[in-house]
Amino acid sequence: QDQLQQKIICPGPVTCLTASPNGLYILAGVAESIYLWEVSNGNLLAILNRHYQDLTCLCFTDDSSHFLSGAKDCLALVWNLYNVLQAEPSQIPDPRHVWSRHSLPITDLCCGFGGPLARAATASLDQTAKLWEISSGELLLSVLFDVGIMAVTLDLSEYHMFCGGMDGSIFQVDLCTWPVQRDRTFQTERENGKVFKGHRNQVTCLSVSTDGSLLLSGSHDETVRLWDIQSKQCLKTMNHKGPVTNAFIVLAPANMFNPDGKPSVPLPKFSKHLHGTESSDEPGTEGVTLRLGLHQQEPGQSYLEKAERMYSQMYLTREKNLVGDQEHLTIQVSELEEEVSNLRKINKDLFNFSARIITNPAK
């Protein structure tokens, strides 16, 4: 049996969870607050309270520089991770953008490629899916459907936006159609070739393969379906014992099929208090300690003694560098003085030669 490596108690029921693509941070939505943890040591770095109702979705940009949050308060916020990390614990940083064009709760978020220059899609119960530009915060496209939208995603090339409806339908929206219209209405009866039909209940999650040929969908009808995007045919159906809440396509890790492959470092305990403000009686300061070169460590040497020895070595190295720099400067000064004297002699000879020619004209 697989053993439970770590049980992490969160401050409350987690409604949404995501990790940064670089693997350094974890975001969780607890009620109307966003909790930001550092993965390596479990420190709680920030608690963001800018939503007025419970969080529903979180996502990072592909370069981990920004993250987006959506909630039942109909707002989608764009956050700069650097500003969040640099803010004082007593201050709540301002989001970079506040998107308030939806009239009902946000149900899903999706971010394309390009870091801060990427485009992001939002889905809502107000029967619309919207496409935004993260850099400027401008609304690029708004598509109105016949049903509330529960899930949204983009393909890798961002030619299409896929939206999952409450009735089980999946809609394919072309983003490169002409003429370009910011407000569009998706009429199902006119666009039968752009609808995936098969789910019998609301679609909760969508994911597109890297090559853009396959679409994965999960639904409350307790099934996960794999679709061929070109023909809109269902290639495979996987049954589950309950409503499917999340499903996505990922590249298989290199050691995924290795029977001996195990996580090298377990997750630390995530703190419930902001880093630097933990209570003295709270033991939640455990973390992962990496000790490099263990066989070379000198026994019986305290941390202060090691620090003092390292400081003395750095000081000696600095002194040697300063002495060497002074000797080098002395040599350079002597060479420059010699060059200046040579230039003065040449200038004097040139002056005498010119004076001779002027005072003694040719006969």
Count how many domains the chain has. 1
Q: Tell me, yes or no, whether 90 lies in a domain.
A: yes
> Could you tell me if 271 and 284 are in contact, meaning their C-beta atoms sit under 8 angstroms apart?
yes
- What percentage of residues in the chain have a pLDDT greater than 90? 55
- Three-class secondary structure of residue 149 per DSSP: strand
d(CA 39, CA 53): 26
Q: pLDDT grade, residue 318 (50/70/90)? A: low
241-288 confidence digits (pLDDT tens): 999 999 999 887 777 777 777 666 677 888 888 877 655 344 444 444
Q: Tell me, yes or no, whether 334 lies in a domain.
A: no
Q: pLDDT grade, residue 295 (50/70/90)? A: very low
The enclosing H or E element of 208 equals strand 203-208
Q: Tell me, yes or no, whether 163 lies in a domain.
A: yes
- Predicted local distance difference test score (pLDDT) of residue 319: 57
- Three-class secondary structure of residue 122 per DSSP: strand
Question: Which residue do the tokens 């989001």 mark?
Answer: 95
- Predicted local distance difference test score (pLDDT) of residue 281: 41
pLDDT at 302 over 70: no
223-245 confidence digits (pLDDT tens): 999 999 999 999 999 999 999 99
- Predicted local distance difference test score (pLDDT) of residue 280: 38
Q: Tell me, yes or no, whether 309 lies in a domain.
A: no
- Three-class secondary structure of residue 172 per DSSP: strand
Does residue 179 have a cis peptide bond before it, meaning omega lies within 30 degrees of 0?
Answer: yes
Between 52-56, 72-76, 172-176, 287-291, the lowest mean confidence (pLDDT) is in 287-291
d(CA 215, CA 235): 10
Q: Tell me, yes or no, whether 359 lies in a domain.
A: no
Task: List Cβ neighbours of 105 (8 Å cut-off, separation of 6 or more).
Answer: 53, 56, 71, 72, 73, 74, 124, 125
Q: Tell me, yes or no, whether 313 lies in a domain.
A: no
Q: Tell me, yes or no, whether 220 lies in a domain.
A: yes
Domain span including residue 156: 14-253
Task: List Cβ neighbours of 115 (8 Å cut-off, separation of 6 or more).
Answer: 61, 62, 63, 65, 66
Domain of residue 59, CATH code: 2.130.10.10
Q: Tell me, yes or no, whether 45 lies in a domain.
A: yes
> Could you tell me if 84 and 46 are in contact, meaning their C-beta atoms sit under 8 angstroms apart?
yes
pLDDT at 290 over 60: no
pLDDT at 202 over 70: yes
Task: List Cβ neighbours of 295 (8 Å cut-off, separation of 6 or more).
Answer: none
* Average pLDDT score over the chain: 84
Stronger pLDDT, 71 or 91, i.e. the higher one: 71
In degrees rounded to 5, what are phi and psi of residue 355?
Answer: -65, -35
